[in-house]
Amino acid sequence: MLWLGWYFPRLPLEIFGAVDESIPLAVSRRWEGKERIDRCNGAARRRGIAAGMLLSRALERTPELVVRARDAEREREALEALGGWAWRYSSRITFDPLLVLLEVGGSLRLFGGVEAMLERMEGELTRLGHRGYWAVAPTPAAAALLARVAPGRRIHHPRALEAALEPVPMERFTRNAELLELMRQTGLRTIGDCLRLPRPELARRVGPRPALLLDRLLGRAPDPRPLWRPSARFRRRLQLAAEVEHAGALRFPARRLLESLAAFLRGRDGLVQRLEWTLEHRRHPPTRFRVGAAQPTRDPDRLLQLLQLRLERLCLPAPVIELELTVPRWHPFEAGGEDLFRAAGKEGERLLERLRTRLGAEAVRGMALRADPRPERAWRFCAPGGASTPSPSPHPAQRRQPLWLLPRPRRLRQRDGLPLHGGALRLEPRCQRIQTGWWEGEEVDRDYYRAVNPAGERLWIYRDRKSGDWFLHGFFD
């Protein structure tokens, strides 16, 4: 089993739309008998606000600071929404405070390995307005702990787990003050200290519970956790950091809700046709309206456009303090219902039509791949929207090729057998040899190099092995 832990330390802020970094925002909670700053965003930090500061002092120092009390209910809702997002990647999901844990051992192959999966997840989280930190480990408890203390760690084998966890200080493992005090007195400072003790001795010193937790952490004892089941209904609220007076300004928070809906729907392979929006006002009954799409969809851009059309006609009776999106029903996705670019719809087709009418069809093109090792023939222009015939897959070696190609290779002048382009070129030692046989048409036999000229331009050049001539074929960015 392999668990992926996603830790969202900024979630208490993100539920108030903390992505808008221009507004200094903080959340507060009570501890040691006083209301204090729990955490804050970058805009607040730049104004000298820090966690632990007394609320009264923070407001004195930065009167424009927006402060919200930590809202456990909304945090739970948001975490569950993230569960809905993660559902796409695994059906074994469980939670810890500010953490989503998912078992990914079974789904890695489907998503092309850990790297590809994480890259994809990171991109999606950014769109959802969350910043998360991940770790991978064989037990859920270890994935959770590592995501908090050592984000980015990937431990695949239970054997490697002990070494990875040894240096973790006990106060990151538990928040139980009594237990921590007990451990401090008995000289147990890190997880390693505990593991070095014989288990009965550890249990004698600190009780059986911490010993069990350690065993679960290392996978030596089962860690039964209730697995989460997603609900069929989508409902998500977003409290706004600042009151919104113009309907147009709801675009940004609405977009976040729609991205979140899209993630929910992707996880279930569903589409929606009707959305219910609720705008909460201070001291005024909420504004409610429905927005319907002509075709079931889950494209957030399209749903946002529909909302915008509605917002343009809307008169707000009072400033908006909260936005809510509810989807009572969603439809299962049917193949062909959401074809590529059909989502852009007639509008997208008309756009292409306009461009091609004015600029000429040959000036508005798509690109596709060809199965040919010669860089100048490994691609072709095609109709916008992709080739009608299936394209070959790219070759891994093409990853090392530059992003820019010259329309055709240009012969370079030489001095002492070395190529020139805006001065003498410095060649990097590694090269890629591209050879084709005469039976493939024009025969090529080339050694490609990366080269840098005195102006710092990074060139892609090759030496024709037959003639010994040098050619410039592209530019690295």
* 346 or 413: CB nearest other proteins: 346
Binding to other proteins (CB under 8 A): which residues in 435-464? 455-458
Q: Name the segment binding other proteins (CB under 8 A); options: 87-95, 97-105, 268-276, 389-397.
A: 389-397
299 binds other proteins (CB under 8 A): yes
Binding mask 249-288 for other proteins (x = CB under 8 A): --x-------------------------------------
The binder of other proteins chosen from 149, 212, 316, 355 (CB under 8 A): 355
> Scanning residues 404 to 433, which ones bind other proteins (CB under 8 A)?
404-407
Least Cβ distance, residue 207 to other proteins (angstroms) = 42
The per-residue DSSP string of 197-258 comes to: S-HHHHHHHH-HHHHHHHHHHTTSS----PPP---SSEEEEEEEEEEE-SGGGGHHHHHHHH
Q: Residue 315 and residue 287: Cα distance in Å, rounded? A: 10
Q: Given the rule CB under 8 A, which of 270-278, 301-309, 423-431, 440-448 is the region that contacts other proteins? A: 301-309
Residue 446 · residue 439 · CB < 8 Å: no
Q: Which helix (H) or strand (E) holds 273?
A: strand 270-281
CA separation for the pair 293, 278 (Å, rounded): 17
Give the nearest distance from C-beta 205 to other proteins in angstroms.
Answer: 42
Q: What string marks each residue from 66 to 105 as x (binds other proteins by CB under 8 A) or -?
A: ----------------------------------------
Task: Note whether 200 binds other proteins by CB under 8 A.
Answer: no
Single residue of 19, 79, 183, 211 touching other proteins by CB under 8 A: 19
The minimum distance between CB 214 and other proteins, in angstroms, equals 33
Q: How far does Cα 172 stand from its chain's mean position?
A: 26
For position 306 contacting other proteins by CB under 8 A, the verdict is no
Closer CB to other proteins, 34 or 411, in the complex:
411
Regarding 340 and contact with other proteins (CB under 8 A), the answer is yes
Which residues have C-beta within 8 Å of that of residue 117, sequence separation ≥ 6? 89, 104, 107, 108, 111
Q: Does 242 bind other proteins (CB under 8 A)?
A: no
Nearest to 10 by CA among 2, 20, 18: 18
Q: What is 285-341 written as a DSSP string?
A: EEEEEEEEEEEEE--HHHHHHHHHHHHHT---SS-EEEEEEEES--EE--TTTT-TT
Contact between 347 and other proteins by CB under 8 A: the answer reads yes
Residues 6 or more apart in contact with residue 265 via CB below 8 angstroms: 234, 271, 272, 298, 330
> Is there binding between residue 29 and other proteins (CB under 8 A)?
no
Residue 361 touches other proteins, criterion: CB under 8 A: no
Helix-helix angle 251-268:300-312, to 10 degrees: 140
Distance set, CA 227 to CA 96, 101, 157 (Å): 12, 10, 23
Count of residues interacting with other proteins (CB under 8 A): 62
- Taking CB under 8 A as the rule, does residue 381 contact other proteins? yes
Which residue has tokens 């494209």? 299
Among 34, 172, 282, 354, binds other proteins (CB under 8 A): 354
At 462 the three-state DSSP class reads strand
Report in angstroms how near the CB of residue 159 gets to other proteins at its nearest.
32
User: Is residue 360 packed enough to be buried (19+ CB in 10 Å), middle (13-18) or exposed (0-12)?
Assistant: exposed
Binding site for other proteins (CB under 8 A): 19, 21-22, 123, 126-127, 251, 299, 301, 304-305, 338, 340-344, 347-348, 351, 354-355, 358-359, 362-369, 375, 378-379, 381, 384-386, 391, 393-399, 401-407, 455-458, 474-477
